[in-house]
Structure 1
Amino acid sequence: MVEHDYIQETPSQRLRNWVLSEMLRGAGYAALLLLAIGVSYGIIWGIGQLLPAESKNAPPPMPFSALHAPLNTAKV
């Protein structure tokens, strides 16, 4: 395939434009990833708002998750 240089770029300008386009593409991918994380967080938050208030104040489902470590009261 023959590449025609319609805008009369020098090799350094062509390289600079290529680097800029690659950086912009990477920034676009990062923006899409951040947007996807934000949307998923918003969906989870929305589902949480639909739950009744009693479910938010319920005790934990695991019986051992509410245990506390004993205080170390040994005398030296």
Structure 2
Amino acid sequence: MEFILLVHLRCGSEADLKLSKYKVLLFNGFYVGSLVYLIFVMLNFMVFVRWAVFDGASGLIKAVFCHGGDR
């Protein structure tokens, strides 16, 4: 695939250049789309992790400090 694209760019006829431009646009669109999807997934994951970690950390801190205060 990459070789064909390189050949198109080297030969440089008008139709081939347009075709390679479309291929690049398609690839860029797919790349950007997957990047946006990954960012979306990561944000959701971060929110979930933050919620879980803060819940766990606050519970742990309360437990540690309460037990420390009791002693």
Greater Rg by CA = 1
Equivalent of residue 30 in structure 1, options 31, 34, 40: 34
Report the number of matched residues.
46
Q: 1 or 2 for the larger relative contact order (CA 8 Å, sep ≥6)?
A: 2
Offset of residue 53 of structure 1? 2.6
Q: Give unpaired runs (5+ residues) of structure 1.
A: 1-8, 55-76
- RMSD between superposed Cα atoms in Å: 1.7
Could you state the TM-score of these two structures normalised by the residue count of structure 1? 0.55
Could you state the TM-score of these two structures normalised by the residue count of structure 2? 0.59
Q: Give unpaired runs (5+ residues) of structure 2.
A: 1-12, 62-71
Identity %: 4
Point out 4+ residue stretches in structure 1 off by more than 4 angstroms: none
Larger relative helix fraction: 2
